[in-house]
C-alpha cells in the first residue's frame, strides 16, 4: 500500500510539473530597452519591448509600464500606467514571430525625486491562441536599463550641496619668537610575525571520535543486513 501511494504521489508531481513547463514554454519572451541612459525631470522617454513568440500566437489587449522613483524623504513615488489599451481590437502576434513595441512615458516634474536609478513594473493582459480568457502577467519592479546599463534620473536639486572648507594660512614667525618643538609620534609596535593560535586535539578525543564513527557505520550495516533478510 505504501509503495502504491508513493508511486501515485511521484506520478502526480510529474504531471503537474509537465503541465507547468508546457504553459511556461508557450508564453512569449519579453525584453525591454529604454531609449537612453540619462533622464531629466519632466522629460519624455520610450521603452521598447522586444516580444518573441514560439509555437503559439497571442492576442494582447493591454500592455505597459508603471515607473517608480526614490524620493528624498525615503519613500517611493509611483507614476500612472503608461501603455496601450487595445480594447476590442487586441494586438495580434503570430507564432514564431518577433515584434518591437514602443511605449512612451513622461518623467514626473517633481523636485522631491532623488537622483539615481529608477525602476519599472511591466504589465500585460495576454491570451494564447484558442483560449477564452486573458491572463494578467506582471514582471518587476525591475531597475530600468539600456543595453544592460542602469538608467539614471537626474535632479540637481536633490544632490547634496558641497560643504565649504576654510583653511587658515599660517602667520609668519616673529623675529623674537623661538621655533615651537615638533611633535613626533611613535608608531605602535605590532608584532606581525607572532604565530597564530592552533587547535589541537589530544589522543583521547581522537580515539573517542573514531569509536563513534565506527559505531555509526556498523549500525548502518546491521540495519541494511536485517532489511535484506
pLDDT in tens, 36-88: 999 999 999 999 999 999 999 999 999 999 999 999 999 999 999 999 999 88
- 3-state DSSP percent of the chain in helix, strand and coil, to 5: 25, 35, 40
Least confident of 125-129, 146-150, 181-185: 181-185
Q: What is the mean pLDDT of the chain?
A: 74
- Confidence band (pLDDT; 50, 70, 90) for 24? very low
Percent of residues, the chain, with pLDDT higher than 70: 62
Residue 92 burial (CB count, 10 A): 13
Q: What is the rounded distance in angstroms from the CA atom of residue 212 to the CA atom of residue 203? A: 14
β-partners of residue 125 are 62, 136
Distances from the Cα of 178 to the Cα of 168, 171, 172, 173, 175, angstroms: 21, 14, 12, 8, 8
Q: What is the rounded distance in angstroms from the CA atom of residue 30 to the CA atom of residue 36? A: 19
> Are 107 and 39 in contact, with CB atoms under 8 Å apart?
yes
pLDDT confidence of residue 176 = 53
β-partners of residue 153 are 39, 116
Q: What is the rounded distance in angstroms from the CA atom of residue 72 to the CA atom of residue 85? A: 33
Q: What is the rounded distance in angstroms from the CA atom of residue 121 to the CA atom of residue 129? A: 25
Q: What is the pTM of this model?
A: 0.58
Q: What is the DSSP letter of 161?
A: P
Q: Please say whether the structural domain 27-158 has been given the CATH code 2.60.40.640.
A: yes
pLDDT in tens, 85-113: 998 899 999 999 999 999 999 999 999 99
Average pLDDT of the segment spanning 163-169:
49
Q: What is the DSSP letter of 98?
A: E
> Are 120 and 65 in contact, with CB atoms under 8 Å apart?
yes
Q: What is the rounded distance in angstroms from the CA atom of residue 169 to the CA atom of residue 175? A: 19
Amino acid at each position: 500500500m505504501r509503495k502504491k501511494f508513493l508511486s501515485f504521489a511521484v506520478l502526480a508531481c510529474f504531471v503537474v510539473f509537465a503541465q507547468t513547463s508546457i504553459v511556461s514554454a508557450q508564453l512569449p519572451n519579453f525584453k525591454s530597452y529604454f531609449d537612453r541612459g540619462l533622464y531629466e525631470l519632466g522629460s519624455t522617454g520610450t521603452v521598447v519591448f522586444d516580444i518573441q513568440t514560439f509555437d503559439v500566437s497571442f492576442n494582447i489587449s493591454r500592455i505597459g509600464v508603471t515607473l517608480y522613483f526614490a524620493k528624498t524623504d525615503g519613500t517611493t513615488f509611483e507614476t500612472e500606467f503608461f501603455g496601450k489599451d487595445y480594447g476590442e481590437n487586441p494586438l495580434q502576434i503570430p507564432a514564431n514571430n518577433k515584434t518591437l513595441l514602443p511605449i512612451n512615458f513622461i518623467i514626473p516634474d517633481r523636485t522631491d525625486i532623488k537622483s539615481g536609478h529608477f525602476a519599472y513594473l511591466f504589465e500585460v493582459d495576454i491570451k494564447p491562441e484558442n483560449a477564452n480568457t486573458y491572463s494578467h502577467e506582471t514582471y518587476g519592479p525591475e531597475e530600468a536599463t539600456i543595453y544592460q546599463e542602469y538608467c539614471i534620473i537626474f535632479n540637481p536639486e536633490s544632490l547634496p550641496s558641497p560643504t565649504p572648507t576654510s583653511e587658515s594660512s599660517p602667520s609668519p614667525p616673529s623675529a623674537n619668537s623661538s621655533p615651537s618643538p615638533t611633535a613626533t609620534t611613535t608608531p605602535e609596535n605590532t608584532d606581525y610575525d607572532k604565530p597564530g593560535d592552533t587547535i589541537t586535539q589530544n589522543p583521547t578525543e581522537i580515539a573517542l571520535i573514531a569509536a563513534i564513527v565506527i559505531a555509526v557505520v556498523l549500525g548502518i550495516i546491521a540495519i541494511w543486513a536485517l532489511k535484506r533478510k
